[in-house]
Amino acid sequence: MEEIRNSIKVCVTGGSGYIASWLVKKLLEKGYTVHATLRNLDDKIKVGLLESLPYADTRLVLFQADIYNPTEFGPPIEGCHYVFHVATPLQHNTQSSKYKDTTEAAIAGVKSIADCCVRSQTVKRLIYTASVMSSSPLREDGNGYKPSFNESCWTPLNFSFTFGEGYALAYTNSKTLAEKQVLSYNETEDGKLEVVSLACGMVGGDNTLLNSQLPLSVAVLLSQITGNLPFFKNLKFLQELLGSIPLVHIDDV
């Protein structure tokens, strides 16, 4: 089994993020060869974080790739059997002439990555890191919630939310539309690519991999204690979307 895993290549986009860095760590520990992408390979802190992981010296390959230049994901995906698309644009690159906002960039990014997976002829499955903010069980008329919370739930983007503004609203729009785009490949590529979407809630837990930097999700969770009003509004927005605050530990993601 160890020899089989050593021959399997897995790509993880956004490799230095909270979820992605733990994913890289777990994959290396299980014996897989990992292709991890970073926006900037000159970032010594992020590169050092990944290169310090056990088995990184023999089974980790780093690539530079940015959602705002999605064609860069071709080389890291080439030859891989599985792709974990974790990266997502959190702030708009105002220097971009291609996209007007993070939503356009995120949609173009997942499309380009999915196309790379199909062209590779080696990728068996694309696993997309989604968000529960895309899966609101709100009724279409906004009057209460549906009786069950399942795969048919999509956040209505035409609503005016009390706490949905700025970054939180832009993030919800981009994650919702990008997820719909990538899942469409299950219907349009004649079985050439299997796409799986994993919707994560507020992720907490050990953040030692981030060199004591507080992950955004953890900062939002602690906002009632720290008194950070913008983050607390994000927490209230999540409650407004879902009717509750879903929590998940990083090890369970």
Determine the Cα–Cα distance for residues 90 and 18; give it in Å rounded to an integer.
14
* β pairing state of 82-85 and 60-64: unpaired
Q: Can 175 be counted among the known catalytic residues?
A: yes
Q: Which of 25, 46, 175, 233 is catalytic?
A: 175
Closest CA to 40 of 50, 29, 30: 50
Catalytic residues: 175
